Structure 1
Amino acid sequence: MGEIFISVLLPLAVVVIMFCLGLGLTAADFQRIGRRPRAFCVGALNQIILLPCIALMVTFIFGISAEAAVGIMILAACPGGAISNIVTKLSNWDVALSVTLTAVFSLTCVVTVPLILGFSMQMFMGATAPAIDISSTALAMFFLTASPILAGVIARSLAPRIVAAVEPIFSKVSMLLFAMVIGGAIISNWVVVADNYLRLGPALFVVGASLTFIGIMSSGMLGCTDIEAKTISIETGVQNGALGIAIATLLLPNTNGLSEYAIPSAIYSVVWIVTMLPVFALLARRSPIS
């Protein structure tokens, strides 16, 4: 049963979630980048540069094993996805900025994931690293993230009224599907998750907490508003564990259950719910400065 969750339902859930993300996008969302370049550029700096650097430092500080370190780097390459958008909406922060950042970073996964995966494989495993075809990796990422997002955008442009009516339903269905599949993957591999929680949990917590703090501080220092800073902090501090597991499973197959590369993403989902979600709930209760 665990194999079905991980190898079939999980990638399917990721595709559905990305498609629903595309359904919620319009041309105005991308045009917003030109009108508000500062907030977008700060978010991009945190997501594309600072996040992998922090994750890399944490793997060395905690002495994470080679395969698990690669798994953490895979997770670091995954944008927040629908989770960050939902939390932003419930917190009354900048939903438009959150959706734009998520969409752009999900599209750039086609480039960033193969680069980070290839770098981390060589960094941590050297000659023992399994063979990874970068072009095949980019193609897999295209079909997993960029393709369904673009399909959603096209569907909205062709039938805007219909999509506008059904998009909220699709969004709820995608989140329910995400929760069921990630929960199923964890439960069906509970022994593996439990055995590795104390080994990887503290490192994953430090990654999330550090990036949340850095996201707020860097945004404020670079002139973003309070609402923008909070939005960027969740985009930086929240990663898509489901996408991380799917990537590890698709690119590094032939493993029964969760592979060593996928375990960090599974454990991260538990760590985030237990530790980081209350932090964002606390931030949401604070009155905005601007």
Structure 2
Amino acid sequence: MTAMIAQIVTQIMLPIVLALVMLGMGLSLKIKDFKAILSDPKVTIIGLLLQLLLLPILALIIINVFSLNQIAAAGLFLLALCPGGATSNLFSFIAKGNLALSVCLTSIVSMLSPFIIPIAFVGFIHYSGSANNQYFNLPLLPAIKQLALVTLLPTVIGMCIRYFANEWSQSIIPVIKKGSTIAMLLVVSALVLTNLTLVPSMFSLQGGAVITLCSLALIITYFIAGKLNVNETDRKTMAIEVGVQNAGTAMMVAFTVMHQPALATVPLMYGLLMNIPAFIFVYWVLNKDKTALPINAKT
């Protein structure tokens, strides 16, 4: 019975919920949103480079420092290849960041992810010497098709709906966002309940690796953005976008595309544990802004 529930959750519910999240993102976008960002591309380019390069590099460093086993290492690297998601957009909103930038970065990386994730992950498999491991059989073209079907296509459909039915699309965005958030929480809860043996591992090296990846991504991105003279609002947005990943995408690849639940262990842990450093970071930047106000007022 438990196995059947797990199969329904991973093979049916998870892809549907992820597609629903991406549809909601598409409904919130217009072509002019991309034009506005591209008119001043510096921040966007920095954010994309940090997302696409810094995060995988951090994951490789953490894998070696923590001496993670092959499956945990693959799960962490898979996670590092994923885009931000609705969660990163939510944290950016709470932190009073640039929500348009957050959604734009999430959208661009999400649209690229059907191509980036399979190619980069196959590269990691060969780099780590795990090509002959049964857990790492990722057929390239089927993976690209499945990811495009669940991430890219719903986003494009959402944008088309907004273009042809703007008022109606705006009226249903709150419903889709609330519904997809609740559904994702239910899916994660169901995955935890059907994989209770994973809970103790959250307090192991794997759990430490997950929190370290999120924490370092937040801190390093915020530091680099500051050194590159990015304004404070965009700076904290970029940090959250790079630091908070869409664990649902990684879990879908592990469960639905590769049919290897073991690879979903680290992403599943991340979906729960990343909230700790993310909330600490948001609390810090909000209070940092408050303490800076009197100084700015005097100058």
- Give me the TM-score of the superposition, normalised by structure 1: 0.93
Question: Following TM superposition, by how much is the alpha carbon of 1:4 offset from its aligned partner in structure 2, in angstroms?
Answer: 2.0
1:218 aligns with 2:233: no
Residue of structure 1 equivalent to 2:133: 128
Residues 163-182 of structure 1 mapped to structure 2, 5 A cutoff: 163-182=169-188
Q: How does 1:104-183 map to 2 (within 5 A)?
A: 104-124=108-128, 125-128=130-133, 130-183=136-189
Select 1:242's aligned residue among 245, 248, 251: 248
Give SS of 1:261's match. helix
8 Å contact 2:137–2:258 — kept in the other structure?
no
3-state DSSP class of the match of 1:127? Answer: coil
Which residue of structure 2 lines up, in the alignment, with residue 52 of structure 1?
56
Larger mean CA deviation between 198-207 and 2-11 belongs to 2-11
Shift of 1:140: 1.2
- Report if the CA contact (8 A) 1:110-1:138 is conserved: yes
Single out whichever of 181-190 and 10-19 deviates more from structure 2. Answer: 181-190
2:278 match = 276
Q: Does 1:229 align with 2:235?
A: yes
1:157-207 alpha-carbon deviations (Å, 9 max, x no partner): 110011112212211211111112112211221222324541301111111
* Aligned twin of 1:267: 269
- The Cα of 1:131 is off from its aligned counterpart by 3.3
- Matched residue SS, 1:107: helix
Corresponding residue to 2:205 among 186, 191, 199:
199
The CA distance in 2 between the partners of 1:102 and 1:195, in whole Å, is 29
Quote the Cα distance in structure 2 between the aligned partners of 1:33 and 1:128: 42
Q: Where does residue 286 of structure 1 map in the other structure?
A: 288
Counterpart in the other structure of 1:18 = 22
Q: Separation in 2 of the partners of 1:71 and 1:167?
A: 32
**Contact 2:218-2:281 at 8 Å conserved across structures:** no
Specify which of 67, 77, 83 is matched with residue 81 of structure 2.
77
Q: Which sections of structure 1, spanning at least 5 residues, go unmatched?
A: none
Pick the structure with greater CA Rg. 2
- Separation in 2 of the partners of 1:61 and 1:216? 23
| Alpha-carbon distance in structure 2 between the residues aligned to 1:282 and 1:179 | 26
Match of 2:133, as an amino acid?
Answer: T
Q: Name the SS of the counterpart of 1:286 in structure 2.
A: helix
Q: Deviations over 1:38-64 (max 9, x none)?
A: 110110111001110110111111111
Aligned residues: 286
Letter in 2 for 1:93: G
Identity %: 23
Alignment partner of 2:112: what SS? helix
Change (3 A) 1:274 1:287: closer
For 2:280, the aligned partner's letter is P
**Counterparts of 1:197 and 1:152 in 2: how far apart (Å)?**
39
* DSSP-derived class of the 2:241 partner: helix
Contact 2:55-2:80 at 8 Å conserved across structures = yes
Q: CA RMSD in A?
A: 1.7
TM-score, normalised to structure 2, is 0.91
In structure 2, C-alpha distance between the alignment counterparts of 1:108 and 1:227, rounded to whole Å: 25
Report the Cα offset of residue 91 of structure 1: 2.2
What CA distance in whole angstroms lies between the structure 1 residues aligned with 2:224 and 2:213?
16
Unmatched runs of 5 consecutive residues or more in structure 2: none
**Residue of 1, 10, 14 corresponding to 1:6:** 10
Shift of 1:21: 0.6
Higher mean Cα deviation, 228-237 or 114-123? 114-123
Q: Distance in 1 between matches of 2:78 and 2:273?
A: 17
